[in-house]
Structure formats: C-alpha cells, structure tokens
C-alpha cells in the first residue's frame, strides 16, 4: 500500500483515508518488519545510536564532577539514574515522537527536521546532564563535607558560581567536542532517516504498481 499526503479534492476515488495516527502506526510497523535491515538502518537503529551518545556524554560529565568533588562511590547509583539513564530515555522518546514522526508524516521541511533532532540531542546530551550533575554532585558534596560555602546571604550564589566555573574549566574542551559531536551525529542520522524513508516510499510505490499490473493482466486473461 502506497501512502501519500493530499488535499481532500486531490484524493482519487477508491483511495483509503487514514488518520495521522494510523499512518504512523502502519509505517512504524512496516519499518520494524522490513526484511533488509541495511536498507533502513537509520530508521531502525538511528535513534538508539543517538541515545547511546547521550549515555556517553552524560557519563563523562557526571564522572568529571564526581572526581572534582571527591565523592568516591557515594551516591553513584542515585546520581546515575537521573543524570545518565533518564536523559537517554527522554532522548529516545523525543526523537521517536518528534523527529521520526515528522519524517513519517512529512509534516516539516528537511531543515526543520534536522534542527529538531539537533536541539533534542544537545538538550538531552549536554544541557540537562550538565545542569542536573552540578546540582546533584554539589548536594552530595555538601553532605560529605567535601564542599562548603563560607559566604552568607546573597554572596552564597556568587561564591557557588565562581567555584563551579573554576572546577569546570578543564571540562570546557570536552564539552565543546561533545556539542559538535552531538550536532553532527544528529544531523547525519536525521539526514539518513529521511533518505531511508524516501527509499521506502519508492519501494512501496513500485510494489503497488506491480500489484496493479498483475491485477490488470489477470482481468485481461479472464476476458
């Protein structure tokens, strides 16, 4: 079955109308059951690859601050869940429900889809892990007395910010590399996902034309 977007007046007679949810469900099932994995590798495995990249950058960020604040093994699992595991899950969910959905439903332009994917990747792979790591590790550091603030009142915020900036300097180069890596990876994956989907649409159209030709020949032989 070949699926195409169209205005009500453009829909030919005998065509089956599908809702957006029905189209997404049908195409997702078709992609999952496609026999040749390499032909649709980006649609099948692209989002898990992006999620794995989030795990990598989140782990590096977390381990950096844990080492700087001398947390040793204290709170390792407690921090791992919200800082490493959670963003990787959110990344998978957002990439599936935003980027892949836009590709399947052909709702946005290619640049828009690339941009959506890049924002999701940087947000879940850099911004969220960095903010949550700073909050979580400093909280545990204050409990272990490996970090304490001497100032009082409004100066506490200034002292805290200066301390974070000071210990974060060695991480700047890695953060820059991670940002560039996430942007390039998400762009590449979303680009190939769109290529895979176009390949799939062509295959569906060819299959439909073959079925129509077989049906036409069958009717001709019966006459």
More confident residue, 101 or 213: 101
Report the share of the chain in percent with pLDDT over 90: 59
DSSP letter at 146 equals: S
pLDDT at 13: 59
- Sign of the dihedral defined by the CA atoms of residues 50, 55, 60, 66, in that order: positive
Average pLDDT, the chain: 87
Reduced to 3 states (helix: H, G, I; strand: E, B; else coil), residue 74 is coil
Q: Per-residue pLDDT tens for 115-124?
A: 999 999 999 9
Mean pLDDT to the nearest integer, 106-110: 87
DSSP letter at 108 equals: S
Report the share of the chain in percent with pLDDT over 70: 87
Contact 88, 55 (CB under 8 A): yes
Residue 145, pLDDT > 80, answer yes
pLDDT band at residue 3 using 50, 70 and 90 as cut-offs: low
């Amino acid at each position: 079955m070949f699926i195409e977007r169209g205005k009500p007046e453009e829909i030919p007679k005998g065509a089956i109308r599908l809702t957006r949810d029905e189209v997404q469900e049908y195409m997702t099932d078709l992609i999952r059951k496609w026999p040749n994995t390499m032909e649709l590798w980006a649609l099948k495995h692209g989002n898990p690859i992006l999620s794995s990249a989030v795990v990598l950058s989140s782990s590096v960020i977390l381990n950096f601050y844990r080492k700087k604040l001398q947390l040793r093994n204290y709170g390792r699992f407690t921090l791992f869940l919200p800082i490493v595991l959670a963003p990787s899950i959110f990344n998978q969910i957002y990439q599936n429900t935003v980027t892949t959905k836009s590709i399947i439903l052909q709702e946005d332009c290619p640049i828009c889809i690339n941009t959506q994917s890049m924002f999701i990747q940087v947000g879940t792979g850099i911004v969220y892990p960095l903010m949550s790591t700073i909050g979580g590790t400093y909280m545990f550091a204050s409990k272990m007395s490996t970090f304490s603030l001497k100032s009082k009142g409004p100066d506490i915020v200034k002292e805290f910010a200066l301390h974070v900036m000071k210990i974060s300097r060695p991480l700047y180069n890695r953060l820059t590399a991670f940002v560039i890596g996430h942007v390039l990876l998400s762009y590449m994956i979303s680009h190939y996902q769109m290529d895979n989907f176009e390949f799939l649409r062509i295959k569906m159209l060819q299959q439909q034309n073959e079925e129509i030709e077989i049906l036409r020949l069958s009717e001709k032989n019966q006459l």
